[in-house]
Amino acid sequence: MLELWMVRHGQTEFSRENRFCGSIDPPLSELGQRMADALGAGHGRDPWTAIYCSPSTRARQTVAPLAKLAKLEPILDDGLREISYGDWEGMRHEDAKTKFPAEYAYWAQDTASRGTPGGETAFMVAARAAPVVERIRREHEAKDGQRERVLVVSHKATLRILVCALLGLDVRLFRERIAQPVCALSCFRIKAGGGAMLERLGDVSHLPPELREAEGT
């Protein structure tokens, strides 16, 4: 049995202001760093086998306290980076909708197969992120009845897309059906040769109460 845990990075000023972030690389906010510390305190001593992480600053900062306690070096994988929003990166959703009403409406009708101008589609993200999970699955299949516990550190859209892929849901539903708050944990149990069972989704119980309802997306 493989336990596949996934965590979204902590709060940044971009997530607080509901801006398209994508490939922009902001650091964690002060609140986001507190989230990272809480994640480490809550799960740093769990029996992790490996940590796979997006190369972005916000993802690496989020997992750093946990990785230090777990005495593991995160494996950086470009396939786990956030969806690119192209020309709209850095803009607030409301501003893009006001400035580019026709383009925004066209994108919003099908965010899986339509990207923002110059950006990626959800299907493009699935094509690079799902193989990362498959590699993890192959490399960390339980041996001799031992359970492997692997953490993936990534981003809101990328994780929502991966959840859809693991559950066999239409990727077009990733924005409508899958919640992924900042610094939230999700967990799948994956049997060798079998399917994935979702056990947790968007869990923020490791965060102190004052951080569980953080401002922003």
Active-site residue set? 9, 82
Asked whether the beta carbons of 82 and 21 are under 8 A apart, the reply is yes
Token couple for 203: 């869990």
- Of the candidates 143, 162, 214, 207, the residue with the CA atom closest to the CA atom of residue 4: 162
Paired residues of 196 in beta bridges: 190
CA neighbor of 43 nearest in space, from 77, 95, 6, 75: 6
CA–CA dist 187, 149 (Å, integer)? 10
Compute φ and ψ for 154, nearest 5 degrees: -150, -145
Report CA-CA distances (Å) from 76 to 24, 69, 173, 207.
17, 18, 28, 25
Pick from 105, 126, 119, 104: nearest CA to 172 = 126
Q: Could you give the CA distance from residue 10 to residue 15 in angstroms, rounded to a whole number? A: 9
CA distances from 55 to 8, 9, 28, 81, 120 (A): 13, 12, 14, 7, 18
